[in-house]
Structure 1
Amino acid sequence: MNPALVTAVMALAFCTVHVFVGRLRFLDRAPRSRWLSFAGGVAVGYVFLHILPELGSHAVAFERAIGLPPTLSESWVYALALGGLVLFYGIERALKISRGDRRAEEGRDRPEHGVFWLHIGASALLIAVIAYLLNHREEATTGGLVLFFAAMMLHLVTADYGARREHPELYDRRGRWVLVAATLAGWFVGTRLVLPPVVIGGLFAFVGGCIVLVVLKEELPEERKSYFLPFFAGAAIYSALVIGELHLAV
């Protein structure tokens, strides 16, 4: 089967999450839905068993492309991961502050429109990179692609649900279509443009940092009343699948 066709179907599946996450009524539960905790566990499992191990190999690409010593090259790779985490942390803080200020001044439990669109813009950048990486991963096996897709699909459920919760009206009216456009654009660029290995490594590192922050932001706050066992189950099941796939590839 044509690989581009397979990844196109996967990109369209990502788009269905953006469009229809508001209709997943089983997620709208108090306390928090166990499915969201499960999805968070899978996403974290992906980061620790796929992205972090691959950063070492990408550090070699940095070393060759930039001519830095091995230790310094590795530090740059992890600095990019930290950059992704810090970027989304800053946006989440801006959302929280804006929401609190508007609640105090206007009685509306919504962030300012500009801050919300900053959040959507950062999320669009992240999903564009994820869609691009559908066609350009370090591990180009079928099993690796399926695991990447499954982990990112569940991550998007968590991330999009959180984005919509901030401002449902704006998300449903325009925000979700921005994310759809970013997904399709990222996939299309991935079919036409092959970036140097050093850039691919940087993108992987950036995605890893972003996912860690998004997942922990959704799982850790006390008011979310998240669940440990579903989170653990998601991480454990995904870890077992990854390790099994690696054993079969040996």
Structure 2
Amino acid sequence: METGTASPYVALSALAIAVMAAVHVLGYRMRFLSYVPRSGWLSAAGGVAVAYVIVHVLPELAGYREHLGPGLADRALGLPVGEVLVYLFTLLGLVAFYGVERLAQRYRRAPTRARDVPPPPLVFRVHMATYAVYNALIGYLVLHREVKGLPSLLFFTVAMALHFLVNDRGLAQEHGAAYERVGRWLLAGAAVAGWLIGLFLPVPMGVLAALFAVLAGGTILNVMKEELPEERQSRFLPFLGGAAAYTVLLLLA
């Protein structure tokens, strides 16, 4: 893929990353997207992101198998070792984000903290550091994916922009003024920084495969942790509708 500044794909990817960053910068204006009870639009956005990962990303990762595990045994657990590694990195992404969330919850649920008091600064820092890395990874993958072209970029942009919206509203609810003052700018900047790194620093296909797999696991965990807790009063039918509609679009593309 041509990555020079004159490349039409690079110009389109710049527009895509601008849209994603704008979600964080302007998300605070979307007051109608209530967090509790959960807005049906947020549940639908979560369904879109999960559908994209399961229907599009995981099959796409099959194209990376040959780039993982060279020099290792040909097979593991009865499967090509590259395929095993792809799913191990997906699991790693899921487990890593689950671990970060559990760490944050240890401080968030301190018995001495009132329900209407924001979490301590450590929780904010942990969340911002984690999501900054996550957004930078997504920004990087705007330019570097196995399947190139406008349709692939469009599907990726829509799914990740909606995913950013879900994350943004969750973090705004959790951290309040600190997120609106600092966090949203940090996460928007991280996405742009990831795109800039991708523009000038391509990585080997094996590393790219691992990054994409980690993203898949992280996306699934991040969506489900927003939808499953009972206190958030999530909306199943909008979630189902978002997932079903995007699945149909992906299959027809």
Q: Same fold (TM over 0.5)?
A: yes
How many residues were matched structurally? 242
Alignment correspondent of 2:90: 81
TM-score computed with the length of structure 1 as normaliser: 0.92
Corresponding residue number in structure 2 for 1:97: 106
Partner of 2:202: 194
State the Cα deviation string for residues 181-231 of structure 1 (Å, max 9, x = none): 211111111111221111111011000000000111011111111111111
- Measure how far apart 1:67 and its partner are: 3.7
Using the TM superposition, give the Cα deviation of residue 106 of structure 1 relative to its aligned residue in structure 2, in angstroms: 4.3
Residues 17-166 of structure 1 mapped to structure 2, 5 A cutoff: 17-28=23-34, 30-64=36-70, 66-70=71-75, 71=79, 72-101=81-110, 104-107=111-114, 109-166=117-174
RMSD across aligned positions (CA): 1.5
| Distance of 1:161 and 1:59 partners within structure 2 | 35
- Give the Cα–Cα distance (whole angstroms) in 2 for the partners of residues 152 and 106 of structure 1: 34
SS in 2 for 1:63: coil
Superposed CA offset, 1:52-103 (max 9, x none): 1122221221134x444243332222111111111111121122221111xx
Secondary structure of the structure 2 residue equivalent to 1:137: coil
Q: 1:219 to 1:29 in 2, by over 3 A?
A: closer
> Of 171, 174, 180, which aligns to 2:179?
171
Output the amino acid matched with 2:160: M
Q: Is the 8 A contact 1:62 1:68 kept in 2?
A: no
Tell me which amino acid in the other structure corresponds to 2:15: V
Higher helix share: 1
Identical aligned residues as a percent: 41
> How far apart, CA to CA, are the structure 2 residues paired with 1:112 and 1:205?
32
Question: 1:81 is matched by which residue type in structure 2?
Answer: T
Matches of 1:218 and 1:133 in 2, distance apart?
23
Rounded to whole Å, the distance in 2 between the matches of 1:11 and 1:224 is 29
Q: Which is further off, 80-89 or 55-64?
A: 55-64
The Cα of 1:105 is off from its aligned counterpart by: 2.1
Any unmatched runs of 5+ in structure 2? Answer: 1-6
Q: For residue 95 of structure 2, what is the amino acid of its counterpart?
A: V
| Contact map agreement 1:96 1:111 (CA 8 A) in 2 | no
Provide the TM-score with structure 2 as the length reference: 0.91
Q: CA deviation at 1:29?
A: 5.5
| AA aligned opposite 1:180 | A
Residue identity matched to 1:136: H
CA contact 2:69–2:85 (8 Å) conserved in 1: no
